[in-house]
Amino acid sequence: MAGSASTEQPWVDGLTIGRLLSETAKHYPGHDAIVFPQASVRMTWRQFDLAVDRVAKGLLKLGFKRGDHFGVWATNWPQWVVLQFATARLGVVLVTINPSYRSDELAFALARSDIRGLALIDHFKSCDYDEILGEVWPALDKARAGELDCPRFPKLKTMIRLRGSSHEAMLDWDKINELGEDVSDAELRAVTNELSPEDPINLQYTSGTTGNPKGALLTHRNLLLNAFYAGHCQRISHEDRICIPVPLYHCFGCVLGTLCAAIRGAAMVFPHESFRADETLKAIEKESCTVIYGVPTMFIAMFEQPTFDARKVATLRTGIMAGSPCPIELMKRVVHEMGASEITIAYGQTEASPLITMTHTDDPIEKRVGTVGRAIPGVEVRIVDCESGVELPEGESGELCARGHNVMLEYYNDPEFTSNVIDPEGWLHTGDIAQRQSDDYYRITGRLKDMIIRGGENISPREIEELLYRHPAVEDVQVVGVPDHRLGEQILACIRVRDGAVITEEDVREFCQQHLARFKTPRYVWFLEQFPTTVTGKVQKFRLREAAIERFHLQDAASVQTA
């Protein structure tokens, strides 16, 4: 029978993340926990557990307590993972901040999430973090560590430098460890033992359909059960080594990656602070990885590496492809050319912690490459008519809704939008169009919500539109997603120019890059005199997309079949 693997009992149910780590360190003390080749860091589970304790004690000494919010604005770096578990030991809610954020996005996240502490690196690619932070807090250079007082972010009292040059307003990482020496094991245990699995512990920002990102508030239980079943579907054990090139600020990295590994006692291998195809292949080979994670564009990039054929990646067995629609032919290449014969597909969204459905390693190959699997245990899925809400039978397309242990508590401080996506019966309305096939397997066939998914990044067209409306030459703008072979989708900005104004494609891109993360910059810019509309005047974005496919010769990319 398809997917016949017996359902493993979720022993993590009833635990908090901090207590989970203690159990794993006790059972697999000498096994590798984290490997960061770029930072020359390698820790066993016992060493990692002790490192987490030291930092948790340091944060406790600084006054952090259950329910406080702590942001991490950094790439994949050892301290990121330590902080994830250290904050969890205190019941402090981890706020994940995209390392590509520019000033406008950072200011929104800091203010909206009520952050009391912020840990950051000094730079990433073209982003100078101190410069960006200075744009949203002009008096930063006059601030001193321990004396932070910013009217714009009144709750922000502590900043910690994870790596790079020191700053007067920030405590260095070593200082946090020193502070922890004044706190006893008993004090820390007392705090950890008071926590509940139902407590919020992660505030994960995801692009909304109406402009600014929404903060999905997730609990210990949300995350641990999700990570448990991710490992179950892949048959991961303490003997596995998981290659994690996906970013930690996404649920893919910090739930299906770190928490899944912690539950199973498996090793986490982080090839580089951000994705690099060559470094990922090198890490798989050198560290004998058995599991590989990635969004479709990452797998494509690895196949395109000139050294791919020479790399010894035969240790690979399974993994997850997710984050954006997975091309069926690409999945087949991963099975046959990369050797990950038990590769799986997962589907979900941040609001679902993130998994809703997933394939199993023993599913027939056509199910594993052609569907997004079945609902994970403890989660109900139904397909409903988009207008009436009536449940639809097998084979008919409608909105996919989910209910169970994976559904978030709420959008933080946003009851209106929470009620828009979680109905009174507890069903999460995903905004994705899907079909239920035989044996309760699902295929995603479209999107109801106005969202672009570019290389695994969810992008709100409204956010880009609202920015471009601020440009003096822009009369009207509509942003849509268009198909792309490598990234799944690219951004197209359709613009009507004000009478007498002059603006170029490069002007549009430069304006976006000044205010938003680079991945939100339009790949295509199309100047139009008018937009297609309905009889009531509503812009028909689907017609803009159809016309763009013809104009920019994207027919081949549009024809790619996904699961």
- The DSSP secondary structure of 144-168, one letter per residue, reads -TT----TTSTT--EEEE-SSS--T
Q: How far apart are CA 222 and CA 208, in angstroms?
A: 20
Q: Is 303 exposed, middle or buried (0-12, 13-18, 19+ CB in 10 A)?
A: middle
380: tokens are 């109900």
Report in angstroms the alpha-carbon separations of 376 from 7, 239, 326, 346, 398.
10, 23, 19, 10, 20
Residues whose CB falls within 8 Å of the CB of residue 500, separated by 6 or more in sequence, listed in order: none
Pick the CATH number of 380-447 from 3.40.50.11540, 3.30.70.270, 3.40.50.300, 2.30.38.10: 2.30.38.10
Beta-bridge partners for 526: 494
Q: What is the pLDDT of residue 4?
A: 36
Report in angstroms the alpha-carbon separations of 445 from 206, 438, 482, 546.
21, 16, 16, 17
Q: How far apart are CA 358 and CA 465, in angstroms?
A: 34
Q: How far apart are CA 429 and CA 355, in angstroms?
A: 14
* Residues 430 and 356 sit within 8 Å (Cβ to Cβ): yes
Residues whose CB falls within 8 Å of the CB of residue 79, separated by 6 or more in sequence, listed in order: 119, 162, 163, 173
Q: Can you tell me which residue has the tokens 């490069």?
A: 506
Q: Which CATH superfamily is domain 452-558 in?
A: ANL, C-terminal domain (3.30.300.30)
At 311 the three-state DSSP class reads: coil
Q: What is the pLDDT of residue 5?
A: 44
Q: Answer whether 17-358 and 452-558 agree in fold.
A: no
* Residues 264 and 238 sit within 8 Å (Cβ to Cβ): yes
- Which of 68, 147, 59 is closest to 113 using CA atoms? 68
Q: How far apart are CA 294 and CA 244, in angstroms?
A: 8
* Residues 531 and 544 sit within 8 Å (Cβ to Cβ): yes
Q: How far apart are CA 293 and CA 299, in angstroms?
A: 9
pLDDT tens sequence for the chain (563 residues): 233 345 789 999 999 999 999 999 999 999 999 999 999 999 999 999 999 999 999 999 999 999 999 999 999 999 999 999 999 999 999 999 999 999 999 999 999 999 999 999 999 887 899 999 999 999 999 999 988 999 999 999 999 999 998 999 999 999 999 999 999 999 999 999 999 999 999 999 987 555 678 999 999 999 999 999 999 999 999 999 999 999 999 999 999 999 999 999 999 999 999 999 999 999 999 999 999 999 999 999 999 999 999 999 999 999 999 998 898 999 999 999 999 999 999 999 999 999 999 999 999 999 998 999 999 999 999 999 998 999 999 999 999 999 999 999 999 999 999 999 999 999 999 999 999 998 999 999 888 878 899 999 989 898 999 899 999 999 989 999 999 999 999 999 999 999 999 999 999 999 999 999 999 999 999 999 999 987 667 788 889 999 999 999 999 999 998 98
Q: Which CATH superfamily is domain 17-358 in?
A: ANL, N-terminal domain (3.40.50.12780)
Q: What is the pLDDT of residue 15?
A: 98
Q: What is the DSSP string of 189-250?
A: HHHHHT--TTSEEEEEEE--TTSS-EEEEEEHHHHHHHHHHHHHHHT--TT-EEE--S-TTS
Q: How far apart are CA 205 and CA 249, in angstroms?
A: 9
Q: What is the pLDDT of residue 3?
A: 34
Q: Can you tell me which residue has the tokens 């017609």?
A: 543
Q: How far apart are CA 396 and CA 383, in angstroms?
A: 8
548: tokens are 């763009």
56: tokens are 């948790």
Q: How far apart are CA 201 and CA 197, in angstroms?
A: 9
CA angle 270-271-274, nearest 5°?
A: 90
* Residues 327 and 560 sit within 8 Å (Cβ to Cβ): yes
30: tokens are 């000498």
Q: Where are the domains of the chain?
A: 17-358, 380-447, 452-558
Q: How far apart are CA 277 and CA 286, in angstroms?
A: 14
Q: What is the pLDDT of residue 168?
A: 95
Q: How far apart are CA 33 and CA 139, in angstroms?
A: 40
Report in angstroms the alpha-carbon separations of 242 from 41, 266, 292, 399.
16, 7, 6, 33
- Which of 100, 431, 340, 376 is closest to 256 using CA atoms? 376
308: tokens are 């791919």
* Residues 77 and 162 sit within 8 Å (Cβ to Cβ): yes
* Radius of gyration over every alpha carbon of the chain, rounded to an integer in angstroms: 23
DSSP state of 498: P
DSSP state of 520: G
Q: How far apart are CA 104 and CA 387, in angstroms?
A: 36
- Which of 372, 290, 361 is closest to 328 using CA atoms? 372
